[in-house]
Amino acid sequence: MVGNNVAVAASLVWRRLGLLVSANVLWLVLSLPIVTWPAATAGLFTIVRRVVQEELEATPREARLGDFWVGFRQQGLRGSLLVVMALAGLGIVGVALRFYGGSAEPLRWLIGPIGLIGLTWLGAQLYAFPLLLQRPARPPWEVLREAILIAVSHPMSSLSLLATSLVLGIAAVVLAGPVLLVFFSAMAVLQTVTVRRLLIDHGELGMVVP
């Protein structure tokens, strides 16, 4: 499934390259102050969601750069809470790994289970922002809980998506330059397409042929 999602995402990025590059640059600029990074991420996923809806669901409304600011304003607070919880979880996992890694047997055996928890937590973050926009009435902690449940119920898909994201991220860093001007938008497209596919499989969304 991941391979098909990557192919669909790559097609969308190519077809809407200009808009996605503009959104990517805007996200990079607004992420520099750090404090506006979560709201900028919400804006980026908002415009990406519009692109996916337009291209895959044939919605009559055309995606435009202004959608970034709509998401920035409307979803900025929810996005910030989501990021704070995500970072707090990663921090707890990191401290636990450090603590038990330096402990004697048999406490050191806990490294494996804690590592699996960390992988699950990382996998859940790949679904978090698309779900945040899909569930506008739900608080961020409920969105994060749903993302965790998806990661747990689809372990192979989540690991494949996590590995794909890691490989693409390393490639983007190595190539640097122009690739970084579209990389973050492309990752948002991939995550949004993946969540859309999962919701279709669960019967929540209908398959629409544009």
pLDDT tens for 39-68 read 999 999 999 999 999 998 877 778 999 999
Closest by Cα among 162, 177, 68, 182 to 122: 162
What number is the average pLDDT over the span 192-207? 85
Whether 208 is covered by a domain: the verdict is no
Evaluate whether residue 209 is within a structural domain: no
- How many distinct structural domains can be found in the chain? 1
Residue 104: DSSP 8-state: P
**Contact status, residue 190 vs residue 122, Cβ threshold 8 Å:** no
d(CA 75, CA 38): 9
Asked if residue 194 belongs to a domain, the reply is yes
Q: Which residue, among 137, 37, 61, has the nearest Cα to 146 in the 3D structure?
A: 137
pLDDT value at position 161? Answer: 92
Q: Output the pLDDT for position 209.
A: 47
* Residue 206 belongs to some domain of the structure: no
Which positions ≥6 away from 76 have C-beta within 8 Å?
36, 38, 39, 42, 43
Q: Give the range of the structural domain holding residue 100, as residue numbers without chain letter.
A: 2-201
